Structure 1
Amino acid sequence: MSQIALPLVTARGAETVVLGPSLQPVIDALSSPNSWPFRTAILAGPPRSGKSLLARWFAESGEGDAIDGADSLPEDDLFHRWNRAQADGRPLLLVTDRAPGAWQVALPDLASRLGSALLIEIGAPDDLLIAGLIAEHASRRGLVLGEAVIAYLLPRIERSHVGIELLIETLDRLSLERKSPVTISLVRDALAERSGEFQPRLL
């Protein structure tokens, strides 16, 4: 498991991003904005995958400007921002929750420019990243997960950023309700609850 807090330092302070092989190409691309076509890139990925944090880091690094939630802006405004960045010679990072191809742009000039941008996509987390995310979310909640628990979770947990976060939230709640440490038995119940198959045990 690898975690980076530096150089991911923003105005909010040092913020940790868990790094695995599947995320390394994203970090590499964000570190080379001068190689982007027309100095423009689109950062896309699922919810809770760290896009906003990466965008803040990029903007505050001084390497360029970032627009979080770019797909929700009026197209005329976004087109103006793109033109201004080009005039200033500033790299521009556009952040969207939408999957590639799902962001439908009606303004032809804007559509052609976005079509030329570099797509930086955050994909499904790999095993190393999943293990790191489990540990990070648990640490934030003060949960102690043993190696056996993490090993049990890895092949069974939903392989999405949101799914991992929600499962740790469920583990935390069950642990507090039962006044119990996180055991494999408790993990089984949390997994069953997340899948909709949970049945409360008789005490």
Structure 2
Amino acid sequence: MTQARILETGNGDAVANAWGHVRGNLRRSAGQRLFDQWLKPVELIRESSEAEIRLGLPSDFMAQWVRNHYAERLLLEFRAVLPSVETVCIETVSNTLPAQRVLHAGDNDTRPPAGGESSTFDPRFVFDRFVVDASNRVAFNAARKLAEPGVPQFSPLFLHSATGQGKTHLMHAIGQAFLESNPRATAIYMPAERFMFEFVRALKAKDTIAFKARLRGADLLMIDDLQFIGGKDVTQEEFFHTVNEFMGAGKRLVIAADRAPQALEGFVPQLAGRLGSGLVADIRPPELELRRAILQRKLDEMPDVAVPEDVIELLAARITSNVRELEGALNRLVAYAQLNGEAITIDFAVQTLGEVLRHVQRRITIDEIQRAVSAHFDLKQLDLISERRAVAIARPRQIAMYLAKRLTTRSLPEIGRKFGNRDHSTVIHAVRRIEDLRGKDGEIDGAVRTLMRKLEG
């Protein structure tokens, strides 16, 4: 596997000096812990130029994290030192795939052989890799329909949902499917903030004609995160004219935001009404079964990674509102296991993702767990804290202890005290016993799953 070469001192002094300045700023602004964990491993790749900065990281997961959190910041930092910088590419240094262009400063997007300019779309975000259920089916079907050749049945398509539910995935999928069936066509994708930035820059340069011609000349225009131009009257006016041009010409227009058109704050009524005149499709938070399916789809693409069923269940049950956060948790878990040379177990998952899991966890009490287990096995709650050792009581007691360890932040001694002042070693034995039985006894495993769904539901 070809390694990306890191820039050496004396080779590309201007770029190297700029990187030193940017790196210093990041160290000061990010804080030592975050810098050491995520930004310190970033290296400048030798093939970088004053127009295209290429940065390398040792894993796909780390590269994706930096893209998601620091792409725009890196671009702005470099351009403050080197105004000629147009793009910042964040790569995996051991990956032979071409660099992913994560942010564009100018008009130099990738161009198809015989068409006009087109944005670079993420090859991971295609229709075949979008997991569908009732929560997103309308949005998915509408996106596929809009990408089909021929006269579009509706435009604009307005996608709305909370952050991380798949809007951007669908937009990239539309772009790639549309260009595949229309190789001579042009497609542009940009965040609303980029639209505003380029429009303001064109205003200052007195070159709005070129800006308008570039966007309105596209066959497909997609604007993401529209809510960010709320209150920006001049930008909204230009965007309103762009929307009218596309609708009048029967072209494809896709908009995404975190809420429906009528609920957008700081938007003039005419623009909100125009956006709502096409097809408005929402994406709801994923249900448990969809969360499981998303994780399984991700794991299908990692054939060499072994993640036990109870770990998948933990992630799917705890991380409930955000698909991006769910996938990010799995990526982090896999990356940490590979970097540390460890197997992925439930204990490793809790240790690695403790902060994430605590952030999203509903506070479940041991008393709730005891009530739920008692009801499930038709026992009295007092039976679980009694000295009785009959299997019909001892096994539910062990399940309750196991769930207390899994679903609460209580220590082992605290859990033991809640079960009739038992020693912490008894809790450890119960947890290990249930973990073992879950792999052998389908009835026990089914009971645990049912109780976890009920308690976290």
Rounded Cα–Cα distance in structure 1 between residues aligned with 2:226 and 2:321 = 26
- The equivalent of 2:346 in structure 1 is 184
- Alpha-carbon contact 1:167-1:190 (below 8 Å) kept: no
Structure 1's 125 and 142: CA in aligned 2 closer, same or farther, altered over 3 A?
Answer: farther
Indicate yes or no: 2:136 matched with 1:55: no
The one-letter code sitting in structure 2 at the alignment partner of 1:54 is L
The match for 2:228 is 72
Deviation at 1:170, TM superposition (A): 4.2
Structure 1 residue runs of 5 or longer lacking an equivalent are 1-9
Residues of 1 paired with 2:332 and 2:286: CA distance? 20
1:135 equivalent in alignment to 2:296: yes
- Would the aligned equivalents of 2:285 and 2:320 in 1 still touch at CA under 8 Å? no
Mapped to 2, the partners of 1:42 and 1:104 lie a distance apart of 16
Q: What percentage of residue pairs aligned between the two structures are identical?
A: 20
- CA offset at residue 124 of structure 1? 0.8
Give yes or no for contact 2:125–2:173 (8 Å, CA) kept in 1. no
Residue of structure 2 in register with 1:7 after alignment = none
Structure showing greater radius of gyration is: 2
Other-structure match for 2:285: 124
Shift of the alpha carbon at 1:32? 3.4
**Is residue 44–residue 95 contact of structure 1 (8 Å, CA) maintained in 2?**
yes
TM-score normalised over the length of structure 1: 0.71
Letter of the structure 1 residue corresponding to residue 225 of structure 2: G
Match of 1:23 among 136, 150, 172: 136
TM-score after normalising by structure 2: 0.35
Map of 1:4 onto structure 2: none
Q: Which structure shows the bigger proportion of residues in helix conformation? A: 2
Q: Measure the CA separation in 1 of the matches of 2:331 and 2:121.
A: 27
- Shift of the alpha carbon at 1:104? 2.1
Deviation at 1:198, TM superposition (A): 10
Contact 2:329 2:353 in 1 (8 A): yes
In structure 2, distance between residues paired with 1:18 and 1:80: 32
Mapped to 1, the partners of 2:316 and 2:139 lie a distance apart of: 23
Structure 1, residues 119-158: CA drift from partner, whole Å, max 9, x if none? 2112111334312332355556964213343234433333
Shift of 1:94: 0.8
Q: Does 2:255 correspond to 1:99?
A: no
Give aligned pairs, total.
187
Identify unmatched segments of 5+ residues in structure 2. Answer: 1-119, 147-151, 183-218, 230-234, 360-408, 412-457
In structure 2, what residue type is equivalent to 1:112? G
> Does 1 or 2 have the higher relative contact order (CA < 8 Å, sep 6+)?
1
Of residues 133, 151, 156, the one that matches 2:313 is 151
Cα deviation, residue 12, structure 1: 4.9
Q: Secondary structure at the match of 2:319?
A: coil
CA 1:27–1:42: 2 relative to 1, 3 Å: same
Give SS of 1:55's match: helix
**2:264 match: secondary structure:** coil
Shift of 1:178: 5.1
Deviation at 1:11, TM superposition (A): 5.3
Residue identity in the other structure for 1:133: I
Do structure 1's residue 90 and structure 2's residue 251 form an aligned pair? yes
How far is 1:80 from its partner? Answer: 1.2
Q: What is residue 171 of structure 1 aligned with on the other side?
A: 333
Q: Structure 1 CA distance, aligned partners of 2:350 and 2:327?
A: 16
**What's the CA shift string for 1:55-98, capped at 9, x where partnerless?**
133244158432223333520121111111122111321122x2
Give, as a single letter, the amino acid of the residue that structure 2 aligns with 1:26.
A
**Matched residue type, 1:20:** V
Tell me, in whole angstroms, the C-alpha distance in 2 between the residues paired with 1:183 and 1:31: 38
- SS across alignment from 2:251: coil
Q: What CA distance in whole angstroms lies between the structure 1 residues aligned with 2:173 and 2:328?
A: 25
Task: Report the CA distance between 1:108 and its aligned residue.
Answer: 3.4
Amino acid at match of 1:82: V
Q: Please give the root-mean-square deviation of Cα atoms over the aligned residues, in Å.
A: 3.3
1:26 positional shift: 1.4
Which of 145, 150, 154 pairs up with 1:32? 145
Where does residue 159 of structure 2 map in the other structure? 43
